[in-house]
Amino acid sequence: MKIAEQNAEAGEHYITRNSNEYNEMFRKAAGGGIIAGLIAFTKTFMEEMSLSYFIQGIFKSINYSVGFIGIYSFGFTLATRQPAMTANALAAKMHNLNSDKERSSLVDEVVNLIRSQGASILGNVFLVIPTTLLIFSIIFYAQGAPLMDKEEALKTLSHYSVLGLTPIHAAFTGFLLWLSSVIAGWVHNWSVYHEIPQALASHRKLKAMLGPSRLQRWITLYQKHLSGWVGYISLGFLLGMSPKILGFFGIPLDVRHVTISSGTITLATASLGIDFLYHSQFWLAFIGIFFIGIMNVSVSFFLAFWVALKSRRIKSSIRDEIYKEVFTRFKKSPTSFLLPPKQKATN
């Protein structure tokens, strides 16, 4: 229950309700896309190196974690990190739904949430593609050859084909995205329960070394960012090490993150040349990106939403009523799920 409440508070920041907030979300996601492009390049570069299976997983985990912390530190957004947070924020509003007005307000929030996720994914992908193309161009002109040879590039595209295991891998990634939010919430609550900030504030050696005012600034920083740091670092290691650990036990699950996958597909396609855009293998991977995005967001969201509803003991009849009203709203105004409402002009 406490973890759901912690994530609900964080999730409020990821829901946009007007065009200004929508545009700001897109800009933050675009910044995240630039860093994700660097992550995708470094990941691909590591895969080209002759590293052992386990060491490659460690290096990938560090690459993901450093990149994600960079996105967080610059105030940018990683789209698929949001659903597990926003689901809890949504469930927190489902207690008092006795009137039509209250239910309509909740449906408005569902629409805002879906639209916000769309803005985040669009912003991430919109910038990750040109970023990886720029990196590819620099590498190409520096060494006179593409990052991948033809065989490796074709193999990479086949891994992301919609006809393969891509949807399953993407759903597994959605589970890891949700799990990272649970870990972040648990660590935050553990810190509060054990009164870690108070213990740091009363630590004599820290006071003498940093001074009271500087120590308080560090404690404030710790309280504000602990959940974010833990969430992104745990996500990085979950994405990097889970396939390696499961592979050791013969379970062939891999990760497919929509933003990083978009960058990887861009690098592979660029290595094959522009003519390959007409090849069916490219389009199968391109369509696979849509499935990756859908599975990343939906699995992460519904796991968090289900846990949040269970923790708040929301009746199934209320949930069914909300689902019906969301579907009715979609039939009436499908564009509202994609585009923000126009703001009224003020005199």
Q: Are 253 and 168 in contact (CB under 8 A)?
A: yes
Residue 130 has which token pair?
A: 């040109």
Tracing tokens 């927190």 back to the chain, one arrives at 92
Distance CA 46, CA 64 (A): 12
Q: What angle do CA 28, 260, 296 make, to 5 degrees?
A: 85
Residue type, 295: M
Question: Are residues 253 and 169 in contact, defined by beta-carbon separation less than 8 angstroms?
Answer: yes
- Nearest residue to 25 (alpha-carbon basis) of 65, 82, 68, 67: 82
CA angle 250, 253, 258 (to 5 degrees): 165
pLDDT of the residue at 4: 47
d(CA 123, CA 115): 12
Q: In the prediction, which pLDDT does 87 show? A: 64
Q: What is the pLDDT of residue 83?
A: 64
CB 44 within 8 A of CB 148: yes
> Using H for helix, E for strand and C for coil, what is the string for the chain?
CHHHHHHHHHHHHHCCCCHHHHHHHHHHHHHHHHHHHHHHHHHHHHHHCCCCHHHHHHHHHHHHHHHHHHHHHCCCCCHHHCHHHHHHHHHCCCCCCCCHHHHHHHHHHHHHHHHHHHHHHHHHHHHHHHHHHHHHHHHHHHHCCCCCCHHHHHHHHHHCCCCCCHHHHHHHHHHHHHHHHHHHHHHHHHHHHCCHHHHHHCCHHHHHHHCHHHHHHHHHHHHHHHHHHHHHHHHHHHHHHHHHHHHHCCCCCCCCCHHHHHHHHHHHHHHHCHHHHHCHHHHHHHHHHHHHHHHHHHHHHHHHHHHHHHHHCCCHHHHHHHHHHHHHHHHHCHHHHCCCCCCCCCC
CB of 175 closer than 8 Å to CB of 300: yes
Whole-angstrom Cα distance, residue 69 to residue 192?
A: 22
User: In terms of Cα–Cα distance, which of 173, 150, 165, 171 is closest to 260?
Assistant: 173
Round to whole Å and give the CA distance between 120 and 80: 8
Tokens 């209320």, located at residue: 318
pLDDT of residue 12: 55
From the centroid of its chain, how far is CA 208?
Answer: 40
In one-letter notation, the amino acid at residue 335 is T
Rounded Cα distance between 133 and 333, Å, is: 37
Give dist(CA 25, CA 30) in Å, integer. 9
Per-residue pLDDT tens listing for the chain (347 residues) = 445 455 445 545 667 888 888 899 999 999 999 999 999 999 999 988 888 889 999 999 999 999 999 999 999 998 877 666 666 666 666 666 666 677 777 788 888 888 888 889 999 999 999 999 999 999 998 888 888 889 999 999 999 999 999 999 999 999 999 999 889 888 988 998 889 999 988 888 888 888 888 999 999 999 889 988 999 999 999 999 999 999 989 999 999 999 999 999 999 999 999 889 999 999 999 999 999 999 998 898 888 878 777 776 777 777 777 778 888 888 888 888 888 877 654 44
| Confidence (pTM) | 0.88
CA distances for 29 relative to 4, 23, 75, 126, 269, angstroms:
24, 10, 9, 9, 23
